[in-house]
Amino acid sequence: MLVPLPPVSDLTAHLGFWLRMVSNHVSHAFAGKLAAEGVTVAEWVMMRALYGKDPMPPSRLAEEMGMTRGAITKLADRLIGKTLIVRAADRDDGRAQTLALTPRGTGLVPRLAMLADRNDAEFFDCLMPAERTALEQLLKRLVAHGRITATPTE
Amino acid sequence: MLVPLPPVSDLTAHLGFWLRMVSNHVSHAFAGKLAAEGVTVAEWVMMRALYGKDPMPPSRLAEEMGMTRGAITKLADRLIGKTLIVRAADRDDGRAQTLALTPRGTGLVPRLAMLADRNDAEFFDCLMPAERTALEQLLKRLVAHGRITATPTE
DNA sequence: TCTCCACTGTTGCCTAGGAAACTAGCTCCG
DNA sequence: CGGAGCTAGTTTCCTAGGCAACAGTGGAGA
């Protein structure tokens, strides 16, 4: 005789499920737009982090982007290969490096920012202004409550 | 003489940014809890999809989970290696396979579902019931508007 | 000054998933 | 009934990131 299975909460019962579903989709769509410019989301985030700032050590980027230093090394290598950023030795500390946008990289950032604006509009313009605000406030509350710090890249 | 940089919208100006920030964090925390049971998020989603259902072809799982068939093959291989699911040849179609939970897999699903419940509570219990509802409605509206279908795993 | 330890960045090695080529079986149509 | 094309799943190659070991440099204390 068959024992009935214990009831199990549905996947869709979790807010985390819906959050991830929307987030994945929005990010994936954005990745597609960036790909047309030959850039990945992680590359965009790094370039945006460098834009308008002094040359920055990789360790700082690792912290801001929530990635390991190893991953930053490789990500930087790729951007250097595309001549979008440059790596330079730190003047004072023989161990340290700094990363900075090239002119070409600097010129690209505003174009990519436009794509980000457009992507956001594409998904969130269907909400009323008050709803957008409500969503933003809720998300920021969750960030604060969960002590969430890193810039998302994945 | 230095030309001032064009102003560029801040990363944090986008709802997609906050969405991803929270989503990543929630999922990462969940992944940590699952890891204690020796399971990944993708493995959990596959097991949950099989729970209480008839044996299912990989192609159907690929569709539901928003992954390629190739990825499903490998994911299934891993779960088979852990004796949590089994693969069987389809009775009628010589090409087709079916996947189904083993008794051990079936027994594990409720334990994992508890972890999912707990993870959701950890992040979202700080919201008032009305706020939870509001967030859920907004996310579901976005899903509907963006024609989003696949179960998120990444 | 020399030694030990901390810190910075880099380098394998490993995992996970996508894209596309490939195999095997099915189906339809001549 | 035989071949062309379709379909299901697998396999291969590639990318991206984490982890951990590593090398080189700096700094503090004996």
Q: Mind listing the pLDDT tens digit for each residue in A29-80?
A: 999 999 999 999 999 999 999 999 999 999 999 999 999 999 999 999 999 9
User: What's the CA gap between B147 and A86, in Å, rounded?
Assistant: 41
Contacts 24+ apart (CB under 8 A), A134-139: A134/B134, A134/B138, A135/B15, A135/B135, A135/B138, A136/B15, A136/B18, A138/B127, A138/B131, A138/B134, A138/B135, A139/B15, A139/B18, A139/B19, A139/B21, A139/B22
Using a CB-CB cut-off of 8 Å, the residues of chain A touching B21 are: 139, 143, 148, 150-152
Average pLDDT over chain A reads 93
Q: Which of A2, A5, A8 to mutate: most B Cβ within 10 Å?
A: A8
The SS3 call for residue B86 is strand
Contact call for residues B87 and B76 (beta carbons, < 8 A): yes
- For B113, the closest of A8, A22, A148 (CB atoms) is A8
**Which residues lie closer than 8 Å to B25 by C-beta, 6 or more apart?**
A146, A148, B123
Of all residues in chain B, the one with the smallest CA distance to A13 is B117
pLDDT per position as a tens digit, A126-143: 999 999 999 999 999 999
CATH number for the domain running over A16-145? 1.10.10.10
Strand C nucleotides where any atom sits below 7 Å of a protein CB: 7-12, 16-21, 24-27
Q: At what angle do helices B41-50 and B58-65 cross, to 10 degrees?
A: 120
Strand C close to B40 by CB, under 7 A: yes
Fold classification of B23-145 is: Arc Repressor Mutant, subunit A (1.10.10)
What are the structural domain ranges in chain A? 16-145
Q: Which residue has the tokens 């990825």?
A: B71
User: What's the CA gap between A127 and A112, in Å, rounded?
Assistant: 24
User: What's the CA gap between B80 and B92, in Å, rounded?
Assistant: 22
Q: What is the ipTM of this complex?
A: 0.90
The reply to whether residue A23 touches residue B25, judged by beta carbons under 8 angstroms, is: no
- B2 secondary structure, DSSP code: P
User: What's the CA gap between A69 and A149, in Å, rounded?
Assistant: 17
pLDDT per position as a tens digit, B76-128: 999 999 999 999 999 999 999 999 999 999 999 999 999 999 999 999 999 99
In 3D space, the residue among A136, A21, A58 whose CA is nearest the CA of residue B12 turns out to be: A136
pLDDT at A2 over 90: no
Average pLDDT over chain B reads 93
pLDDT at A111 over 90: yes
User: What's the CA gap between A34 and A32, in Å, rounded?
Assistant: 5
pLDDT of residue A26: 94
The reply to whether residue A127 touches residue B135, judged by beta carbons under 8 angstroms, is: no
User: What's the CA gap between A60 and A57, in Å, rounded?
Assistant: 5
